[in-house]
Amino acid sequence: MAAVSSGDRVNCRTPTPGKKGTTRIPKWKFDLIRECILAELREGDVPFVQLRTRVASRVPAKVHDRLGSIGWQVTTVKLELKCRRELFRRHGKGPQILTMRE
């Protein structure tokens, strides 16, 4: 799991072999985006190209400005969730499809 540091931030990793380092984001942003992503995936598999729009529709309007780039946040959290094995990329050719099962 990602470590939460004293600054109340989450260290988000990447599942790419050989790529080191983490991206640190505020815990409240991580928790919000994580819950939105998982809520979408509970309803079924999601093409990655649609994930940003679907997550954005779940984020309360009053929070949109505080988040910054929703697309960037979604990608960062998605990579950490892949490391945690909370979501998976469906194998095969074509567009990236995300699922909750391996």
The reported pTM is 0.89
Using one digit for the tens of pLDDT, what is the confidence trace for 17-61? 888 889 999 999 999 999 999 999 999 999 999 999 999 999 999
Across the chain, mean pLDDT equals 91
Distance separating alpha carbons of residues 34 and 7, to the nearest angstrom: 19
Report the top-level CATH class of 9-99.
Answer: mainly alpha
Q: What are 58-93's pLDDT values in tens digits?
A: 999 999 889 999 999 999 999 999 999 999 999 888
Nearest by Cα to 32 from 1, 63, 2: 63
**pLDDT the model gives residue 101:** 85
Domain residue extents for the chain = 9-99
Q: Which residue has the higher pLDDT, 5 or 18?
A: 18
- pLDDT(4) > 60: no
pLDDT of residue 93: 85
Find how far residue 67's CA is from the centre of its chain.
13
Q: What average pLDDT does range 8-12 have in this prediction?
A: 95
- Which region, left, alpha or beta, applies to residue 64 given φ > 0 means left and ψ of -120 to 50 means alpha? alpha
